[in-house]
Structure 1
């Protein structure tokens, strides 16, 4: 942190700073009517307005409580402690709890004695009374014991006590407490502080200086600049006002703690970073606040000296954040950091890039692409004779080398090549800079051949499913589901209780898993979005990517009940007003989104996944032990691919899956079927080696093609009889008595079908016996039963005899081929499979 701050406030020769001129400049820049009703310039005191959406201080959620909460729609400290020990639900507590009328909210509360419409103006001391009335009551109660006063305390307050006028306020600047001592005119709190200071120092401290720079008594929603030096007061006030123009709000408590760290600093413009943010400071919010104040002061000093931040070779990101629409809309203060244009070593190219950024004000993502393009071009030109310094010397061949370098760009892992579309975007960025430079007259000497040419085109490759996203395997999803109760438990979310936070994230995950919608579409679901037509239930959702709203997705009973259970619980929670229409509320009412953000959902998912002790992949190691699954592959969007892949694997018609995914093009949907085909080929490759004949003896197929040609021939295995294969399995010469046929070729993927056939044959035999049929019919049925039993037993023995790893591979192939065959001619349920059943 100190290193970053040093770069932000690097001011060169500090000894040359004219502090007098700097002070005058600051005074001219201050906003006179800043935060009316909250900022008191004479007292140097900020008191947050509880009704202002731009101040992080609100009324306690309990209506009858007058305390302040730092969380919107949250509890004050006292009410939260009482709630935790009450044993009541949140709804019951809010409806029934009433704070003690004598409860002290702050030292500024006044005495409760009132008569003839006039209330005592002295400070609250105890049991609803000021110190004087409390003493008077004690005396009166003693008289009562002597039978001279027989009334109760409330009767004494009503009939006897007389309101007193307030004492003069404490002399400390901005202190609201009353004077209780004659010495110095201080309140009791500051009198004690002065005595401690007076007794601890060897020499007598300067009372006048102490009075001007001592911090007043402050409530939760207040902060004061009184403790700072005269120049630091101006600097901090200027920084707060500048920050307030783009920051979402002011948190008085955080500012108060940050100011405490700046006490003793003569001024921020010459202070060393370690003086502002010491290494031992661990509170992140305070570090950020001090960093923001120092940054605003540093930028102000640049403006004081007439320095444009965009004229520097190194741009401060926040100083140039006006390039971002979010900055111009006042939604963000920008991210700390810098952009170093010196990585583009050729002055002509660097100046063209910088002028393009100044003139066009690009968004951050677009700016990064163009900077990357110029950096790559600069690196390539630097390796050529002359280093590319002379723009008139670069030629067509140099541009060819630049394009080739862009084709070899790799991802962050340093191994995988960057996608062709990303390569094209970067190359287009370089062309944009060159065209801009030429049109602006900055590259008049640049040789004309160093430009775009048809031979430099980067062809966009057809992406496959591995590139557009990887599906989370069903076996991994099943493992995640067994730990579902732990999701969201340790995630802090506004004023919600841990159980409610967990229920919200668990519901969002299940909806994402079962519906295959995009993460931002799930996070932005509205309340009451279930629609019932006949006996079917549909989810109403908005395709925000394609701007197609109120789409309908059929969902099953389990998903419907999950949503309904959360919505019922959601109705009893207190959430930001902006989140009222949404199923999943926002963490605060001051964010950009009025509902749960994908960023918070991703963080909750990552924390949950990382907390699960073990997650195994579908394969096994050489020694047969489970292989850990790469947890980095579990992210929100991957569950959309899981949904699509689940249906593609099960044979859902492509036109149906296209509608379920709400794809514009069937080509996008078809990619999932390509992956399914690839998996099927791998399964066939493993299974064709396990084919047997009708006696159960090994009869492996020579190729995948041979296996595929026969795999659909008959219900209980493959068939090699030519006329039956030609007819697609519908012209068996012996009427499908496969067990006695020399062309019959079963494999382990048909074991379940063979066992079903054995059971059917046994039932047929019982029926035949009851019908008193001829003996040869009974014998024929029994022979088929015996033959199928022998085939099944031999295949099972062969599979059991395989090494464990190879046996696991065979069983995975069995599962995939059985699913593929089972899906032919039928539609898969439209949302989610039954996770309580085995995938086999």
Structure 2
């Protein structure tokens, strides 16, 4: 490769660019380099930065852009970058760029730069994207000052609370005209309230600093933040029918990945574990462990909360997916120490297997794969001729994205009866209300489900309880709130037990023998499981010979209780079987909603529903 005839600066740039590319793991084609050098000689340029991409052949442009990127970073430091209006994230140890160009007032631009320079070392994960969102919130404030003040917001000493009020009115107008969403309206106010206060705490209002002279009343108050819009869905989980179809077509995902099986494995782990995409992509090769009982656990890092070495219980089938991927990676990179390998290595600039695939690339391949699949038909409630009916309609594929698998994981476990505090630990959240946002059901949807389920309500004898619709609407929901308490297999209206929150049952939870007990179709799985437990316990006690007769008589389930529960189960099942297919589908949908929001805490063993098997054909 000849560099003869090229200026010394250009030679230095080429050599440095090649060295930086090699250190980053990129391969360089001799043909591309030779063609680039020949073209530079023809143009008689003294530096690579003077080359215009359109002057190069199409095949050389990507290679040239890579060289220029490394050359521009040469000699850059965070101190030198902070004076610019566009920051290169690589200088700060992050990916992406940070733009301050939409901040029109010099005082505001310099203050936000000071804040960004301080906060970047404290952030992890998508640091540049998160900081850019906050900068955009300041940009909306800057645009409001520029448009609605005669001095365009240049004189910060003239600002005050009236400018904040004007800005809030502008946000309301932008939301009304659909220029911004309700969520962005709320988030913008939250960002500005918190970070304007942080700018003051950083001492930026002192003499000689960018905000010197800014009035104290130029700030957002708590009451200035609008209420978060109420979601109309319980999280963003995917229906069971959609999940089964996705799992069935998972092998075809490899056709849309230029990285081998890694994208398929990553998607499968996202579905099985409910971790964030970044957490799955960053898994080390040695991420599989066993607890004291020999069960498998996934070891991962929660960078969002700065928690390292987190452990998540996983199934044998999921452990089998990880084990097979570990074998493939070890065979592909036999000379790299295991401690340095990642579970999902990228095929780009990664000769030693130390670099993982990126969440962005994974998301793009996943999106292309989803849109290539046939339509997903799911039961949907629609209105036809004034009547609500259930139809199988195509599911909106735009709702199928990587993070939706995390919502679906949470919803599956909530539907299976996992306790909220346990579910919080599974999701690796610090606060319970964060977890509840992944699976909550709004009041309107819950009320509609209660109305539908309560029409199939039974007393302890299995007799159907009929109520007029108006009576149901006026009294049933009030009684649900203050006049009854949930018990393991239905509802209890006994006053002392209701007052004690379900902890003072006079008959020790022999509900089927109490006149205050009633149940409905949503408790059918619990009743069936209870009947199976009674029969199992009776057989076990009958075969137990080491206890006195009085002890066995006290603990032996009575024949009357078994008969009563069996009759109740048969009665509920018979009424359910007597419905039309459409009515049965509506009842099942309502049951899912009601059970999703149900909590029973009596200090008793709970009947937990098994998780739906998305891939019954898969083995460990």
TM-score normalized with structure 2 length: 0.68
1:127-161 CA-to-partner distances (Å, cap 9, x unmatched) read: xxxxxxxxxxxxxxxxxxxxxxxxxxxxxxxxxxx
Label 1:760 to 1:588 Cα distance change in 2 as closer, same or farther (>3 A): closer
The Cα shift of 1:707 comes to 5.2
1:233 to 17, 36, 44: 44
| Number of the residue aligned with 1:326 | 90
Structural mapping, 1:514-529, within 5 Å: 514-529=272-287
Q: For residue 373 of structure 1, give the secondary structure of its aligned residue in structure 2.
A: helix
The Cα shift of 1:480 comes to 1.5
Label 1:652 to 1:680 Cα distance change in 2 as closer, same or farther (>3 A): farther
Q: Distance in 2 between matches of 1:572 and 1:476?
A: 35
Q: Distance in 2 between matches of 1:471 and 1:817?
A: 16
1:825 to 596, 602, 605: 605
Q: For residue 641 of structure 1, give the secondary structure of its aligned residue in structure 2.
A: helix
Q: Distance in 2 between matches of 1:695 and 1:369?
A: 60
1:813 to 576, 590, 609: 590
1:748 to 521, 535, 548: 521
| Number of the residue aligned with 2:417 | 651
The Cα shift of 1:585 comes to 0.8
Label 1:399 to 1:628 Cα distance change in 2 as closer, same or farther (>3 A): same
Structural mapping, 1:310-709, within 5 Å: 320=84, 323-327=87-91, 344=104, 349=105, 351-353=106-108, 362=117, 366=131, 369-370=134-135, 372-380=137-145, 382-383=147-148, 395-406=160-171, 410=175, 414-418=180-184, 420-426=186-192, 432=199, 439-440=207-208, 449=215, 452-453=218-219, 458-459=224-225, 470-493=236-259, 501=260, 503-532=261-290, 533-574=292-333, 581-589=341-349, 594-617=355-378, 619-622=380-383, 624-671=390-437, 674-675=440-441, 682-691=448-457, 694-696=462-464, 698-699=466-467, 701=472, 702-706=475-479
Structure possessing the higher radius of gyration over alpha carbons: 1
Q: For residue 587 of structure 1, give the secondary structure of its aligned residue in structure 2.
A: coil
Q: Does 1:834 align with 2:575?
A: no
Q: For residue 625 of structure 1, give the secondary structure of its aligned residue in structure 2.
A: strand
The Cα shift of 1:477 comes to 2.0
| Number of the residue aligned with 2:76 | none
Q: Is the 8 A contact 2:182 2:229 kept in 1?
A: no
The Cα shift of 1:663 comes to 2.6
The Cα shift of 1:828 comes to 5.4
Q: Is the 8 A contact 2:236 2:404 kept in 1?
A: yes
Q: Is the 8 A contact 2:527 2:565 kept in 1?
A: no
Q: Distance in 2 between matches of 1:489 and 1:424?
A: 43
The Cα shift of 1:704 comes to 2.8
The Cα shift of 1:555 comes to 1.6
| Number of the residue aligned with 1:161 | none
Gaps of 5+ in 2: 73-80, 121-127, 385-389, 537-557
Q: Distance in 1 between matches of 2:425 and 2:559?
A: 52
Q: Is the 8 A contact 1:407 1:458 kept in 2?
A: no
Label 1:677 to 1:552 Cα distance change in 2 as closer, same or farther (>3 A): farther
Label 1:618 to 1:730 Cα distance change in 2 as closer, same or farther (>3 A): farther
Q: For residue 305 of structure 2, give the secondary structure of its aligned residue in structure 1.
A: coil
Label 1:826 to 1:538 Cα distance change in 2 as closer, same or farther (>3 A): farther
Q: Is the 8 A contact 2:86 2:101 kept in 1?
A: no
Q: For residue 622 of structure 1, give the secondary structure of its aligned residue in structure 2.
A: strand
Q: Distance in 2 between matches of 1:441 and 1:608?
A: 52
Q: Distance in 1 between matches of 2:309 and 2:560?
A: 63
TM-score normalized with structure 1 length: 0.52
Label 1:463 to 1:652 Cα distance change in 2 as closer, same or farther (>3 A): farther
The Cα shift of 1:511 comes to 1.8
Q: For residue 312 of structure 2, give the secondary structure of its aligned residue in structure 1.
A: strand
Instruction: Determine which structure has greater relative contact order: mean sequence separation of CA pairs < 8 Å that are 6+ residues apart, divided by chain length.
Output: 2
Q: Is the 8 A contact 2:108 2:210 kept in 1?
A: no
The count of corresponding residues between Structure 1 and Structure 2 is 550
The Cα shift of 1:291 comes to 7.3
1:178-214 CA-to-partner distances (Å, cap 9, x unmatched) read: xxxxxxxxxxxxxxxxxxxxxxxxxxxxxxxxxxxxx
Gaps of 5+ in 1: 1-25, 40-47, 59-69, 71-217, 244-267, 300-316, 494-500, 764-776
Q: For residue 184 of structure 2, give the secondary structure of its aligned residue in structure 1.
A: coil
Q: Distance in 2 between matches of 1:392 and 1:321?
A: 24
Q: Distance in 2 between matches of 1:326 and 1:565?
A: 34
Tell me the C-alpha RMSD between the 2 structures. 5.6
Q: Distance in 2 between matches of 1:784 and 1:703?
A: 25
Q: Distance in 2 between matches of 1:456 and 1:818?
A: 36
